[in-house]
Amino acid sequence: MSGQHQADGTVANPVIPGFHPDPSICRVGDDYYLVCSSFEYFPGIPVFHSRDLVNWSQIGNALDRPSQLRLPRDMPSSAGIYAPTLRHHNGRFWLIVTNVGAAGNVLFTATDPAGPWSDPLPLPGVPGIDPDLAWDEDGTCWCTVAGISQLRLDPVTGENLSEPERTWSGAPGAQAPEAPHLYRIGDYWYLLIAEGGTERGHCVSIARGDSPTGPFEPCPANPILTHRSTHHPIQNTGHADLVQAPDGSWCLVLLGARPGGGTPGWHVLGRETFLVPVSWVDGWPVVGDLELEMPAPGWPLAPVPQVPTREDFDQAELHPQWISVRERRAELCGTEERAGWLTLHAAGGSLDEPDAVFVGRRQQHRSCRVRTLVDAYAGRGGLAVRLDEQHHYEIEADAGEVRVFARIGPLRTEVAVRSLPVGPVVLGVDIAPAPPQDARTGPDLLSFGVEEPDGTFTVLGTLDGRYLSTEVAGGFTGRVIGMYAASGTVHFDWFDYETEQPR
């Protein structure tokens, strides 16, 4: 699930690849914890742990109970859980976040970031999105939100202790000042924000003042990080959070995207979490070069965690990497009905429906190979690559046939069909960058097929990956690959995700 340090002494960015945007980080002793946005997926807010900022492992999801996260079925994709902020104060972890289209701004607490986390504390007086928490020396809790406005908050009761007041909002006229984070560092209070929108114009800016309310003096070098109007392979850079290592050095975690193909470039994995070093000059942070391969930091690196590529569904609980759309009802999804298999009972008729029964994991590599053994004797379902209800590809089995479908906007089409003997079948998809042709070449190709008894893979249909990209579909998420049931009952014996790429 993480970036890795390489044998040549470099670090592979992104450190958390795939659809992991809006990172927020805190350090407690020698341990780092990081959370990301999860939008319409349940469970929500993945929680990661690291000892070195480079190698990360997912230790849970903060919102793993229906009482914590209710996502209405009529809520559109790319709504839901936006931009959490994670902080540690007075022996507790605090997690503030916006549930767009449902509960608004809410607050959770835990003594262990792996969980359990509390039920949500509503914050009816906190406006906007992207809330942040910071405590001053007197114990006052300051909440800052996109816009940028600020108020005093009682984090125990959820009550406002002051009215929201506008503060520094970045460059005059710049769009979308958001993702505020307030810090006390040395003699100053620093207000870090993103601006320019979360697309190619995204950037990071900062200001400082003598108090948490300012007035704030903008950094003369703003924006301190942006890749706009460049050919850099990492684009959309912004929504950052600062963290200090035990040796006193600093780093920035941020989101970015890796477009591929021709013009205008399509990013298909979503916005990912990157790491970049920070130094301080004259009281201002100076951000180092953000590269796909960067020198390893000076502190010791932890062993690379080994993440299994195969899931055999032998445990009662699914690994926290597995996510579903809006909800995961126990009566429709589980591993106990048929021992060693994941069983899905259909609700919606297809992945076009908001209540589709789907269990998937984020695509984290631009080249990957996915296989699953499906038994659809009592239903219809299979393997899908999903961006949202209107943009997904799938290979689907029933009792005697396999079909490949593509949903692109208003169009749903059958790409291929093949008859098969009744019985379990291995379905698969191979994803790889498209060979360069001209400026119109898409980012990658997705080849769907079946694995024959002798192990060979027969491709039934190959599809252009640009239609499962943010630049085509819109929104804020990335691809999720997984299993679904479209009718009746469908069983899955195992799921295998492999790649030869480091990220």
Asked about 178 being catalytic, the answer comes back as yes
* Residue 487 C-alpha from the chain's centroid: 29
Q: Strand pairing partners for 413?
A: 406
Full DSSP string of 445-469:
EEEEEEE-TTS-EEEEEEEEGGGGS
> Nearest to residue 401, comparing CAs of 385, 422, 428?
422
Sign of CA pseudo-dihedral 381, 382, 387, 391: negative
Q: Which two tokens stand for residue 326?
A: 């809006």
Q: Which two tokens stand for residue 193?
A: 């924000």
CB 38 within 8 Å of CB 47: no
Bond prior to 116 in cis (omega within 30° of 0): yes
Q: DSSP label at 193? A: E
Determine the Cα–Cα distance for residues 491 and 483; give it in Å rounded to an integer.
9
Helices in 356-473 by DSSP H: which ranges?
470-473
Determine the Cα–Cα distance for residues 357 and 355; give it in Å rounded to an integer.
6
Asked about 430 being catalytic, the answer comes back as no
> Nearest to residue 152, comparing CAs of 93, 110, 213?
213
Determine the Cα–Cα distance for residues 476 and 83; give it in Å rounded to an integer.
11
Q: Which residue in the list 52, 130, 132, 178 is annotated as catalytic?
A: 178
Sign of CA pseudo-dihedral 376, 330, 56, 85: positive
The three state secondary structure string of 234-249 is: CEEEEEEEEEECCCCC
CB 294 within 8 Å of CB 13: yes
CB 372 within 8 Å of CB 491: no
Q: Cα-flanking dihedrals φ and ψ of residue 465, to 5°?
A: -75, -10
Give the residue numbers marked as catalytic: 22, 178
